[in-house]
Amino acid sequence: HEVRFAWRADIGKRTKVMRKVKFPLVLDALELCTEELRSKLIPVNRKLGDVERARRDRAKIHARRKGLASEAKKAGGPAGGMGGTSGGAAVSAEATTVAGGEDPNAMQVDEEEDEGAVRAKEAEELRALIPEDIRNDVGASESGLYDLVAIITHKGAAADSGHYMAFVKKSVFQKRLGAKKDDPFDEDEDWYKFDDDKVSIFPKDKIATLDGGGEDSSAYVLLYKSRPLE
């Protein structure tokens, strides 16, 4: 909850705070924990960071291979390493270049390897690091990391009037509906904007513009969800 409204004694009324207030898309709550709790969460917190960096590296390799395969298909050649030696060598070289500059320990997934199996193994390794008391504490965060999934904003200059809107990350609905993805690397990072009965797509890149600084929509309530290990 952001302090967007405050009482002004000099004029005897509640007013809206117009200043910009930056907020993180990912909240690391380790600094807010006791030393004892922090020591229990750090192993999973750090490992999860390593896992996500490795996934980003694999996603870059996947995107590069996918692009090369598409170009090869248009040119009538082998599909980016799925057929033909030269195509496979080109894809492999490109993929190695992408991963090499990022993290030398990042896992590289061969075309035939199942990304789902890799992620299942990563999740198993993460779960092995969770202390028993944290594991048994239903609803407790296992890593101390939280993702921003929804925002309530206020539009207007006055505290007693204006317009409220909601912004919700699309993945929240997709996961609740159990939507299956053909491509595990296909992450939809955009949001939904709920303006009364009007619902539209709101790009992830514009979320930062809700930090206030005027009469336009300003973040008022931020909702974070504990980051899953899978």
| Residue-wise pLDDT tens digits, 44-74 | 999 999 999 998 888 888 888 878 877 877 7
Residues whose CB falls within 8 Å of the CB of residue 69, separated by 6 or more in sequence, listed in order: 79, 80, 81, 82, 91
Closest CA to 112 of 72, 64, 65, 74: 65
Q: Do residues 134 and 150 share a domain?
A: no
Half-sphere CA count of 4, side-chain side, radius 13 A:
28
Last residue of a domain, one of 123, 143, 163: 143
Q: Which domain holds residue 47?
A: 30-73+114-143
Residue of higher predicted confidence among 34 and 80 = 34
pLDDT digits (tens, 9 = 90+) for 135-180: 999 989 999 999 999 999 999 888 788 899 999 999 888 766 655 6
- The pLDDT, as a whole number, for residue 79 is 47
Q: Give how many domains the chain has, as a whole number.
A: 2
Mean pLDDT, the chain, integer: 81
pLDDT digits (tens, 9 = 90+) for 78-131: 544 444 444 444 444 444 444 444 443 344 445 445 888 888 899 999 999 999
**Mean local confidence (pLDDT), 196-210:** 94
First to last CA, the chain: 28
Rounded Cα distance between 60 and 108, Å, is 10
170 vs 190: CA distance, rounded Å: 6
List the one residue out of 118, 116, 137 whose CA is nearest residue 41: 137
Q: Count the residues in the chain.
A: 230
CA angle 62, 107, 148 (to 5 degrees): 70
40 and 21 share one domain = no
The fraction of the chain above a pLDDT of 70, given in percent, is: 77
* CATH code of the domain containing 185: 3.90.70.10
Backbone angles phi, psi at 99, to 5 degrees: -75, -35
User: Looking at residue 147, what is its pLDDT?
Assistant: 95
